[in-house]
Amino acid sequence: NAGVTQTPKFQVLKTGQSMTLQCAQDMNHEYMSWYRQDPGMGLRLIHYSVGAGITDQGEVPNGYNVSRSTTEDFPLRLLSAAPSQTSVYFCASNKHYNSPLHFGNGTRLTVT
C-alpha cells in the first residue's frame, strides 16, 4: 500500500515557468488537499477536492490551479511560477469529512 505519492521530490523553476506537481493516492479516499509549508507559517491550504470533478479554494489559492478527473489523482498546476511560490508542498487525502489526513512526503520547490 503506497498511500499518498508525490512527484517530483525536488524541483527548481525559473520565474514565469509552469509546472505540475503530481499527487496520487491508492486508498480510495474521496477527499484530497494541497498545502504549502513555509518556515514559521505551519501549513496553509491551497485547494481541496471532495470528490472527482469537485474542487474548491483554500486559504491561499492564487497562482495555483487544480482539477480532479479521477478519485486517485489530484495534480497542482503552477501556470507562471513566482519566487513567492518557493515552498514545500504537501498533498493529503482522507476518507471523508472529519477523518484523519494522510500526507505524502512533499515536493520542495524553489523558484529563482
Partner 1 sequence: SQQGEEDPQALSIQEGENATMNCSYKTSINNLQWYRQNSGRGLVHLILIRSNEREKHSGRLRVTLDTSKKSSSLLITASRAADTASYFCATDADTGGFKTIFGAGTRLFVKA
Report the residue from 11, 17, 22, 50 that binds partner 1 according to the rule CB under 8 A.
Answer: 50
What is the rounded CA–CA span in Å between residue 23 and residue 70? 11
Question: H-type helices in the chain, by residue range?
Answer: none
Count Cα atoms within 13 angstroms, Cβ side, for 51.
2
CA distance 8 to 99: 27
| Closer Cβ to partner 1, 34 or 78, answer by number | 34
Reference 34, options 49, 16, 19; nearest CA is: 49
Would you give the DSSP letter of residue 96? S
CB 26 within 8 Å of CB 72:
yes
Q: Applying CB under 8 A, does 74 fall inside the site for partner 1?
A: no
* The only residue of 41, 77, 79, 112 in contact with partner 1, by rule CB under 8 A: 41
Q: Which residue lies nearer to partner 1 by CB, 19 or 101? A: 101
Q: Is residue 2 close enough to count as binding partner 1 by CB under 8 A?
A: no
Does residue 98 touch partner 1 according to CB under 8 A?
yes
- Residue 19 in the binding site for partner 1 (CB under 8 A): no
Per CB under 8 A, residues contacting partner 1 are 4, 31, 33, 35, 40-45, 48, 50, 56, 58-59, 90, 92, 97-106
